[in-house]
Structure 1
Amino acid sequence: MSQADDASAEMPDLIVPERASGYVKGNETREAILRTALSILIEEGWQAMSMRRVATDCGIKFGNLTYHYRTREDLVRELLDAVISSYEREFTTIVHRPDLSPEERLDRYCRLILDDIPSKKTTRFFPELWALSNHDPFVHDRMHELYARARAPLGGIIAEMRPDLSQEERDTLALFISFSMEGSTMFAGFEKPIVDRIALIKRIAIGSFVDLVRNYRSVGAE
């Protein structure tokens, strides 16, 4: 892979879907609200992200906020959807590269995630919500939905590489690769102690994932 191919791409923060019955000003307001909520989550955590705090920091009246998002759950649902949509767009671009082999696309997929882990957004946003999901069923369900969407393109690549495997085996490989990468956030994330070693860890991890999928043998196989 060339140095240009190895360069990390900066991930967009949000892709806010337009509402069917929306209007330009309303869509702009919703995006401002979501960006404000995301900023509060990253900088101060979930406890600081009250509806009134979001309205104040966004510079709008509380009633205007609740016109767009009646509850904090509604706000969180669309915020998570906007965040994962930004990743899905990048994943889709990788998956539909006809000039790349499945192994190369697996490399690109993993590289995109590992390049993103040292970012401040990723280090603070996702662990904050995972911690909350231990006590909040709503956030728990939304986070699992989010990661299932993120793993779908990975599962497709694995299926191309290993059509001989069962769907359960392909899903399990995708899950293993996903949590192996996400687990590195605690060690190699923003301002974490081994962030300076992420380049070597990334090479080891990606090579291991490609080899795993290529050479995996079903349990019980001779």
Structure 2
Amino acid sequence: MTDFTIPDLKIKPREGGYARGQEGLARILTAALSLLVEQGSKALTLRRIAAECGLKAGNIAYYFSSKEELLRELLDAIISSYEEAFDAIYHAPDTTAEERLERIVMLILEDIKTKQTTRIFPELWAMSNHDPFVHERVDHIYRRARVVLNDLVAEINPALPADERETLALFMSASMEGMTIFAGHDKPWIGKMPAIERIAVKSFLYAIRAMRPGEISGVVQPDSEPQPA
């Protein structure tokens, strides 16, 4: 298991903001996160968020001009916390790319077991099906989250072209995120997560090493027997 942890939120200070204003910002975003986890997206109204953090609804407008702006900043704070944890692993000294990939995979799958992650992301997936704004933001945060996977694929198999690296990183990300509904918090297969982690690490490393340029895009036909590097 990795020693790295993912904080709840990584809130970026606003330019020119004073200490009390920053505290208020953090208070609002923390309240919004709590509502999303405990009550779902239906609870994300400015009035409910204000009540959760002990403010009047009108006070929220001092920090956010709209619900969309609040949601944008909340999602940025969520994904920034992942980026911070990923960055720490990616730049860990005296480690191979394979070791760093294993740590990233373990971190993601361990995080899926938490109540917060199990509840937040499926809510966002459902919202993105009907709300173009949420769809754009969810796509954006997943693109940011895949950057480190893409970079590690490039280190392990530098022969793969950029578009094929991106496709492989997308496959890895989707494979892990999909476990949320099966082995997340309070889900039936959560006890199997250690086994799933071992399968994920081994299969991802094998796939990265075995893929030849053009094979993912279908330009090159795969050999009958894969030849991993």
Secondary structure of the 2:5 match is coil
Question: 8 Å contact 1:8–1:115 — kept in the other structure?
Answer: no
Secondary structure of the 2:71 match is helix
CA distance in 2, matches of 1:151, 1:28: 30
CA distance in 1, matches of 2:3, 2:185: 15
Task: Give 1:3's aligned residue.
Answer: none
CA distance in 2, matches of 1:166, 1:88: 24
Task: Give 1:107's aligned residue.
Answer: 102
* Structure 1 residue runs of 4 or more that deviate by more than 3 Å after TM superposition: 7-10
Question: 8 Å contact 2:4–2:89 — kept in the other structure?
Answer: no
Alignment match of 2:24 (pick from 20, 29, 46): 29
| Superposition deviation, residue 98 in structure 1 | 3.2
Distance 1:7 1:174, change over 3 A: closer
Distance 1:86 1:184, change over 3 A: same
| Superposition deviation, residue 189 in structure 1 | 0.5
CA distance in 1, matches of 2:97, 2:3: 19
| Superposition deviation, residue 57 in structure 1 | 1.1
| Superposition deviation, residue 9 in structure 1 | 3.9
Which residue identity does 1:133 align to in structure 2? S
| Superposition deviation, residue 201 in structure 1 | 1.1
Task: Give 2:117's aligned residue.
Answer: 122
CA distance in 2, matches of 1:17, 1:78: 9
CA distance in 2, matches of 1:23, 1:102: 41
Alignment match of 1:143 (pick from 138, 144, 153): 138
Output the TM-score relative to the length of structure 2: 0.92
Question: 8 Å contact 2:118–2:180 — kept in the other structure?
Answer: yes
User: How many residues get paired?
Assistant: 217
Aligned runs of 1:1-222 on 2, under 5 Å? 6-7=1-2, 9-217=4-212, 218-219=214-215, 220=220
| Superposition deviation, residue 8 in structure 1 | 5.4
Which residue identity does 1:116 align to in structure 2? D
Any stretches of 5+ residues in structure 1 without a counterpart? 1-5
Any stretches of 5+ residues in structure 2 without a counterpart? 224-229
CA distance in 2, matches of 1:73, 1:126: 17
Output the TM-score relative to the length of structure 1: 0.95
Question: 8 Å contact 2:5–2:85 — kept in the other structure?
Answer: no
Which residue identity does 1:212 align to in structure 2? A
Secondary structure of the 1:105 match is helix
Deviations 1:173-221 (A, max 9, x none): 1000000000000000010001011111111111111111111133215
Deviations 1:57-100 (A, max 9, x none): 11012121111011110110000000000000011111112311
CA distance in 1, matches of 2:109, 2:47: 35
Secondary structure of the 1:99 match is coil
